[in-house]
Amino acid sequence: MKPTVATFPTARLRRTRQSQALRNLVRQNSLAVDDLIWPIFIRDGEDILEPIASMPGVARQSVDNAVKSAKLAQDLGIPAICLFPYTDPAVKTADCAEAWNPNNLTNRTIRAIKDAAPDVAVMTDVALDPYNIHGHDGFVVDGEIVNDATLEALVKMTLAQADAGADIIGPSDMMDGRVGAMRAALESAGYHNVAILSYSAKYASGFYGPFRDAVGASGALKGDKKTYQMDPGNSDEALRLVERDLSEGADMVMIKPGISYLDICHRVKTTFGVPTFAYQVSGEYAMIKAAAENGWVNGEQVALESLLAFKRAGCDGILTYFAPEVAKILND
């Protein structure tokens, strides 16, 4: 589209900016509570809220507190909550068996949340890193992160989460073929309505640092994730990954991280027109919080502006640690 602009002074583009009423009237994009998915960190124990130093305002929560968060999400109108487990180093193994234990922390939390706050959709993370002694998202065999053997584990993990009542499965591991394997397993187990929101274009990013502290993966991880997560220099590959995941049965797709990858969000939405999400990751959250705490930016304004940017880029929603804070502002 080529905008028609008359010459000055026939056209004065400031006319539609002159009052709040006109600005509201011509605004193209807006952020709503409906757009938010709230990622939370869970851990074992009772009555625990353990602050995460690199993510001010975010804490690891025991199941009872996660349930309270889900009720808060329900009250605020946040449509979905996404669970990330902090796993005790003692349960991490090379075979990652805890990942598909029907009574692991994630699965117990899903049940508790579905029981207490049924209107909130529960999204999960499917990747082996919280359970892997090597800290990687896939099995490590002779130093290689192996693809096909990992798929079998991801399928078991998916089915255990679906059994527990998960509404949205979020494969975040970037193995090839996982969406197809998971979709086929869900269909044959009768879980026709369990949705997959695939982390389709997930980059090997420095912005995940605080998250890895939050889930206790930093210590275990040796090396980097560059053989499975994407090279930040690539964009066409993101479209191939999205197309592949859609053809394998993903219902929704995600780009991650967020702000540094808005071009990818825009290309994905304009190319495929499917439900598209971005993950405003831990490092993005930490940077905004840190600057706000120093008085260098207005934290509230910058949080809202950064989230609106995702909408403008074409995203339908955003995973963000700001979710409850921003929902309160939007509901005011």
Ligand X SMILES: NCc1[nH]cc(CCC(=O)O)c1CC(=O)O
Binders of ligand X: how many residues, by CB under 6 A?
A: 12
Site for ligand X in 222-241 (CB under 6 A): 225
- Out of 62, 132, 200, 282, name the contact with ligand X by CB under 6 A: 282
Calpha distance 249→56 (Å, rounded): 37
Backbone angles phi, psi at 318, to 5 degrees: -140, 135
The answer to whether the beta carbons of residues 154 and 182 sit under 8 Å apart is yes
- Which one of 152-160, 185-193, 204-212, 239-247 is the stretch in contact with ligand X (CB under 6 A)? 204-212
3-state secondary structure of 33: helix
281 binds ligand X (CB under 6 A): yes
Taking CA 233 as the corner, what is the angle to CA 183 and CA 127, rounded to the nearest 5 degrees? 30
- Rounded to whole angstroms, the Cα distance separating 34 from 115 reads 22
- Please, is 25 exposed, middle or buried when counting C-beta atoms within 10 Å of its C-beta (0-12, 13-18, 19+)? exposed
Instruction: Please pick, from the candidates 212, 244, 266, 312, the single residue that binds ligand X as defined by CB under 6 A.
Output: 212
256 in catalytic set: yes
**Extended strands (E) in the chain:** 36-42, 49-51, 59-61, 80-85, 121-126, 140-141, 144-145, 168-171, 195-202, 252-256, 276-280, 317-320
Closest CB 96 distance from ligand X, rounded Å: 12
* Catalytic choice (202, 225, 289, 311): 202
Q: Could you say whether residue 213 binds ligand X (CB under 6 A)?
A: no
Among 256, 269, 289, 311, the one annotated catalytic:
256
Quick one: tokens of 79?
A: 């449509």
Tokens 């930490």 locate to 286
| Residue 262: CB minimum distance to ligand X, A | 17
| Binding segment (CB under 6 A) for ligand X, from list 10-18, 24-32, 206-214, 234-242 | 206-214
Q: Which residue is nearest to ligand X (CB)?
A: 211
Residue 211 beta carbon to ligand X: minimum distance, rounded to whole angstroms: 3
User: Least distance to ligand X from the beta carbon of 126, Å?
Assistant: 8
Nearer to ligand X, 11 or 53 (CB): 53
Q: Contact, 78 vs 39, CB < 8 A?
A: no
- Nearest distance in Å: CB 119, ligand X: 25
Q: Quick one: 1 or 234, whose CB is closer to ligand X? A: 234
Judged by beta carbon, residue 208 or residue 277, the one nearer ligand X is: 208
CB of 320 to ligand X, least distance (A): 9
Q: Which of residues 125 and 248 has its CB atom nearest to ligand X in the complex? A: 125
Candidate segments 13-21, 42-50, 205-213, 266-274, binder of ligand X by CB under 6 A? 205-213
Task: Give alpha helix (H) positions in 15-85.
Answer: 20-26, 63-76
202 included as an active-site residue: yes
Tell me the per-residue interface mask from 116 to 135 with ligand X, x by CB under 6 A, - otherwise. Answer: ---------x-x-x------
Least CB distance to ligand X at residue 19 (A): 39
Please compute Rg for the chain using Cα positions: 20
Crossing angle, helix 282-293 and helix 299-313, to 10 degrees?
150
Out of 38, 86, 139, 208, the only residue in the binding site for ligand X (CB under 6 A) is 208
Distance between CA atoms of residues 315 and 332, nearest Å = 24
Nearer to ligand X, 98 or 125 (CB): 125
Count CB-CB contacts under 10 A for residue 303. Answer: 23
Q: Residue 83 and residue 40: Cα distance in Å, rounded?
A: 5
Does 137 interact with ligand X (rule: CB under 6 A)? Answer: yes
Question: Tokens representing 244?
Answer: 């592949």
Rounded to whole angstroms, what are the CA distances from 177 to 142, 213, 232, 293, 316?
Answer: 22, 29, 21, 43, 25
Residues serving a catalytic function are 202, 256
Footprint of ligand X (CB under 6 A) = 125, 127, 129, 137, 172-173, 208, 211-212, 225, 281-282
